[in-house]
Amino acid sequence: MINPGIERIGQIALVVHDVEKAVAFYRDTLGLKLLFQAPPKMAFFDCAGVRLMLSLPEKPEFDHPSSILYFKVPDIQHAYQSMTGRGMAFEGEPHLVAKLETHDLWLAFFKDPDSNLLALMSEIPHSTAVHTP
């Protein structure tokens, strides 16, 4: 099979119903860098080189929650405390999902103002991992 030249994900789109409210959440609560807006329908953010597009649904069949986006953070406990301090309501506390060969995988889930399920993800190397009994 010939490689078509796909290198990485360039953009992810999320459906929102209030672009300004979504901009405030992704910029102020999550701390993502706002790249630009195309009012009144779209806003674009940078997430470590992947562009995140927030947009009103173009057609009724596109008006549904998205796939889960997992935002990678180096210290999930710190990110959880920081975001909780800014009023974020999580679905639960950060929790250990898997003990892998070189690291432990931790997740914490939350929703944006349009009920899109999102998550923080942290891969903690075994040398610094907090092991639970």
DSSP state of 61: G
Cα angle 68-114-28, degrees, rounded to a multiple of 5:
90
Residue 9 has pLDDT above 90, yes or no: no
Residue 133 has pLDDT above 60, yes or no: no
Rounded distance between C-alpha atoms, residue 44 and residue 52, angstroms? 6
Tokens of 23: 């901009």
Q: Do residues 121 and 105 make contact, with C-beta atoms less than 8 angstroms apart?
A: yes
pLDDT at 131: 52
Which string of DSSP letters, residue by residue, matches 83-130? HHHTT--BSS--EEEEE-SSEEEEEEEEE-TT--EEEEEEEEETTT--
Q: How far is CA 47 from CA 38, 61, 72, 102, in A?
A: 18, 27, 10, 25
Residue 92 has pLDDT above 90, yes or no: yes
Question: 14 with 25, same domain?
Answer: yes
Question: 12 with 44, same domain?
Answer: yes
pLDDT at 5: 65
CATH number of residue 71's parent domain: 3.10.180.10
Q: Which domain holds residue 37?
A: 7-62
pLDDT at 64: 86
Find the mean pLDDT for residues 26-34.
95
Find the mean pLDDT for residues 58-79.
90
Residue 50 has pLDDT above 60, yes or no: yes
Where is the domain boundary, 22, 46, 62? 62
Residue 128 has pLDDT above 80, yes or no: no
Residue 130 binned pLDDT confidence (cut-offs 50, 70, 90)? low
Question: 127 with 84, same domain?
Answer: yes
Find the mean pLDDT for residues 83-105.
93
Q: What are the φ/ψ torsions at residue 30 (nearest 5 degrees)?
A: -85, -20
Kindly report the number of other CB atoms within 10 A of residue 93's CB atom. 10
Position 1 in a domain: no
Report if pTM > 0.85.
no
Question: 40 with 71, same domain?
Answer: no
Cross-sheet strand order for the sheet of 50-55: 11-15, 50-55, 42-47, 33-38
